[in-house]
Amino acid sequence: MSQLALVIDLNVCVGCHACVTNCKEWNTSGSAGALSDDNPYSKDPTGTFFNRVQTYEVGTFPKTETVHFPKSCLHCEDPPCVPVCPTGASYKREEDGIVLVDYDKCIGCRYCSWACPYGAREIDEHQKVMKKCTLCVDRIYDENLPEAERKPACVLACPTSARLFGDVHDPDSEVSVAIREQGGYQLMPEWGTKPSNHYLPRRKNHVSYKKDELERVDNPLKKEDYQVDSTEPSLDDVTSW
């Protein structure tokens, strides 16, 4: 069984919110109807979103780091929101592991949103049904689109390629390799929900060298007992190559 998911690289995310905007744009334009907003240009705007980018400050000033943290439905392998649904509107697809809501069956009781520890579900205040990230299920299988575009809208929008998309059950997929080799982790592992989406941690590249590595040991000039005089012009100074 495959399990489609996102892998989000926190080392690369710059917090530009392009994924948020493209997600909203794609999902408000689909056949399922608009993702409704209220008062978008006046006081107290509110609306339904599937994806957000949050910002955290780690450490104490001046030793701080800013972490931009994109957050959407994690398409858990053991989703707590699914068994609690009284109508069966909330379900996990067998074939690709996407957790979806059937908008025609949902009664809008909000119980699934209580059952999600991540706050990934939002009610549409106009359609009165629960909505959530669909991993752009209406895009990724659309054969009218060029193959390179059969990816979730957020992945296509990301200017730094911080978002990877693929099958986390296929050990050779790009996402599985990234999780394995770059320390991919899950959110709130304490609840046993086994989120499919993974995050790649912040990592720093350190170059470590020893002082003797700066000097060439077998320098032929040393063999000829040639003393380098720094006042003398070097080859660079006298030739133009």
Partner 1 sequence: MQPAFSVIFLTTLIGMGQGLFLAIYTRQVYSVLNVVEASSTGEFYSLGSALALCLLILGLIASIFHLGRPERAWRAASMWRTSWLSREVIVLPTVMGLVFLYGLVHFMGWNVVLMTFGSIPIDLSMIIGALTTLAVFSLYIATGMIYACLKFLQEWHSPLTVINYLLLGSVSGFTLATLLASYQQPELVSFFSGWSIVLLVLAFIFRGASLIRNKRLRPKSTVQTAIGVRHNQIKQKSMGFMGGAMNTRDFFHGKTKFFLKSIKLLFIIMVFIVPMAILILALFKPSFMVLVVACASMFIGLLAERWYFFAEGNHPQNIYYQAIA
Q: What is the DSSP pairing of strand 198-200 with strand 4-9?
A: parallel
Nearer to partner 1, 32 or 187 (CB): 187
CB of 220 to partner 1, least distance (A): 50
- Among 168-176, 183-191, 211-219, 223-231, which window interacts with partner 1 (CB under 8 A)? 183-191
What amino acid occupies position 17?
H
Nearer to partner 1, 2 or 109 (CB): 109
Residue of the chain from 14, 29, 105, 226 that contacts partner 1 (CB under 8 A) = 105
Spell out the residues 6+ positions from residue 95 whose beta carbon is closer than 8 angstroms to its own. 1, 2
CA distance 203 to 182: 9
Spatial CA neighbour of 135 closest among 101, 89, 173, 182: 101
CA distance 131 to 37: 13
CB distance 10 to 204 below 8 Å: no
Spell out the residues 6+ positions from residue 108 whose beta carbon is closer than 8 angstroms to its own. 123, 128, 129, 130
Nearer to partner 1, 85 or 136 (CB): 85
Contact string (CB under 8 A) for partner 1, positions 16-55, x = contact: -x--x------------------x----xxxxxx--xxxx
Nearer to partner 1, 32 or 49 (CB): 49
> If you search the block for the tokens 């809208």, which residue do you land on?
153
Spell out the residues 6+ positions from residue 59 whose beta carbon is closer than 8 angstroms to its own. 65
Residues 112-141 that bind partner 1 (CB under 8 A): 113-119, 121-123, 127-129
- Among 27-35, 154-162, 198-206, 227-235, which window interacts with partner 1 (CB under 8 A)? 198-206
Nearer to partner 1, 110 or 216 (CB): 110
Nearer to partner 1, 132 or 140 (CB): 132
Contact string (CB under 8 A) for partner 1, positions 200-219, x = contact: -xx-----------------
> If you search the block for the tokens 């905007």, which residue do you land on?
21
CA torsion angle 173 174 176 179 (round to 10): 180
Spell out the residues 6+ positions from residue 63 whose beta carbon is closer than 8 angstroms to its own. none
Residues 53-82 that bind partner 1 (CB under 8 A): 53-60, 66-67, 69, 71, 80, 82
**By the criterion CB under 8 A, which residues form the site for partner 1?**
17, 20, 39, 44-49, 52-60, 66-67, 69, 71, 80, 82-89, 105-111, 113-119, 121-123, 127-129, 185-191, 199, 201-202
